[in-house]
Structure 1
Amino acid sequence: MCSAVETTSDRREKASTAKGEARRQAIIDAAAAIIRESGPKEVTHRAVAQRAGCSLSATTYYFDGLDDLLHQAGLLNISLWAARAERVADAVEALEERPGLDERIEFLLRATLPEKGPYLGHYLQLISAGASAPVGSAYREGRQRLNAAISRIAESFSLRYSAEIIIAVVDGAVVTALSERRDVRETAAALVRALAETGRK
């Protein structure tokens, strides 16, 4: 007698109930938080179970292994960052008048940087994501949504630079500030100011 092999669709069916979906989401939330705080290497079934307040078996019940969980957690993280940028883009597009340069810079920083520090942990986990195929893949998948939001802001401010360049400038400024023990937001603001002053359409 052959035993049935559980498929991904079987697992999704398990999570289709409200209770099952809530538990599955709590597990993803826990894994995503661990990635943000400590990087993908710290995501284990045991660590996630402890963080989510669920049984160890629950962390394997809804996912096709740890890579699947890591991928879902990565998708959640990039969606959080994209949603933040989209909220800023909505606010910018709702303005009746174009703001001054200082305010435009602040909007761009709000869209590209975490709301609060410390920033070192955020950038360390971004770098470490490259060593985790499922997380790196998830971040690539969700990047277009983030880019689209930044592009909306750039268009509203008549900036000719792409979202990729704007994000790269901010990220580079942060790494410089962190490595030289400088203020992160001040350093990023200075480089974004230079970009804005030279990049008007």
Structure 2
Amino acid sequence: MKKLTPKAAYRKLAAIYDKMVAQYGQAADAIGLTCEGCTDNCCLTFFQHHTYIEWAYLWEGLNELPADQLEAIKAKAQQYVEEAQSALNRGERPHTMCPLNIDEKQGICGLYKHRLMICRMHGVPNLLVKPNGQQVQFPGCYRCQEQTEEYEKDGKVAPVVNRTALYKDLVMLEMQFVGKNLRQLPKVDHTIAEMIVLGPPRIK
């Protein structure tokens, strides 16, 4: 399989992200889901991400920021890592604001264009079919579940985004981006904060 250059890989990743946004929008529009006035903030949710291509794309965006803004994000990322580890050591699920968030009340991402897959898909009901046929389902955020319950009162069935094809595309892109060393590299299992603290991924 031919290895892609970073720029070519990023273009393909952006195209996958566009498909996610479109499918998310269709599902959200159908049930009337919006983030406006939400009392929660999904940027507080503990997410771990699993691909080198998304990690590298995140740093593509970070490197476009002014130096002082990047340093401030790095400092918040370090604090996040420490707080999250303390929560995990206590047997608790971390509930700490993502270091990329620039407005806690509004949940505004400071790197919105480069936000990762899970950040884009969180909210609406979605499912993933694993290679062994097992289905993993997510009912959506708390507000989505409330909207879905209301939507289905009239006998309608709320839409569910099947992210299987999107994940397959992402896995294929990961293989093209990393190349033959993929199996020898450590498994990616990091929060955004960890990806920032660790710096850009080393894939050679």
TM-score w.r.t. length of structure 2: 0.24
Q: Which has the larger radius of gyration?
A: 1
TM-score normalised over the length of structure 1: 0.25
Larger % of strand: which?
2
